[in-house]
Amino acid sequence: MKKFDSSLVCCYLYTITKYGYPPKAENTLKYIEEMHNLGFSSIELEGIREQHLLQVYNLRFEIKNKLNKLGMKVPYFCIVLPGLSSADPIERDKNLELFEKGCEIAQVIGAKGVLDNAPLPPYQFPKDIPVVRHYDEKVLQAAQFPQQLNWEKYWGDLTGTIRTACQIASAKSLSYQMHPCLGVLSATTDAFLYFADAVKEDNLRFNLDTANQFVVKDNLALSLIRLKDRIDYIHVSDNRGIKVEHLPIGEGNIYWDSFFETIDKINYKGYFGLDIGGAESDIKDLDLAYRNSADFIENRMKTQN
């Protein structure tokens, strides 16, 4: 079985696509083995909201032992906590405590950083924030906001919360990767730069995501150039530019020649996360999609070197 370069990361979306969202935390050791058998020595793992995150927390030393046994690493551990951007200070504080536990997991398993979606605005949904990976545009448009929302105060509270999260991560020598997606406050390059300027923490990074940024018409090459000092992890998948989807490389409309020429131009030396799949992408052979896309990136890296 071919082993891919350690700079290529099998994202947790592989597991999500196979087992649903969120996958059962108690099966994490099985997920690690499956990604190893696919040919990856670098993988993502996640803790998704309170219950799932705490289950992974309880498994952290077993996870570490499994990774060591298989010669694998988790460069970035995803801590999915939409409550960090709540308008309720009690909810934000509770999620900061969970974030710290997520950072403990990352530290135990030897990660370089933690990752979460960029903050949601303080939407109010009919019940709680839906447990979904991506928010449907119609659902977002129909969401309400707190009646007494004072945006200036909320913005100050939010950026202060993320500043605290960055400091928690930094104390454990971790970066805090902010992932762009539809509906969040840092879905584009401009939005992230605006947000980062307000937070003012050096370890706040941008997890460039080719598919998610392509669908919101963010120029990928320009994003790489503008954010080259803020990027050390890139999620890679293709997209047709019409809706949120995460396709194998070559099955969408992203112009990969320009992308990899710019990667070379900015002397990028970070990780590439293969982020392919999800119910929105209708992929028939998931294993083949990951292997072929990893081969594509490896071949481009060899060509440029």
* Helix axes of 60-70 and 49-58: crossing angle, nearest 10 degrees: 60
pLDDT for 126 equals: 67
Q: What local confidence, expressed as pLDDT, does residue 301 receive?
A: 83
**Distance between alpha carbon 52 and the CA centroid of its chain, in Å?**
16
The predicted structure's pLDDT at residue 145: 85
Q: Which two tokens stand for residue 211?
A: 């598919």
The domain spans of the chain are: 8-304
Tokens in use for 83?
């409550």
Q: Which amino acid is at 114?
A: V
How many secondary structure helices (H) and strands (E) does the chain include? Answer: 12, 10
The confidence score (pLDDT) of residue 1 equals 75
pLDDT of residue 227: 97
CA 7 to chain CA mean position, Å: 16
Bridge pairing between strands 42-43 and 113-117: unpaired
pTM of the predicted model, to two decimals? 0.95
Across the chain, where does the E strand assignment appear? 8-10, 42-43, 45-48, 76-80, 113-117, 175-179, 204-206, 208-209, 233-236, 271-274
- 216-236: pLDDT as tens digits: 999 999 999 999 999 999 999
Helix, strand, coil percent values for the chain (each to nearest 5): 50, 15, 40
Classified by CATH at the fold level, domain 8-304 comes out as TIM Barrel (3.20.20)
pLDDT one-digit tens code per residue, 106-126: 999 999 999 999 998 988 776
Residues of the chain with pLDDT under 70: 126-139, 304-305
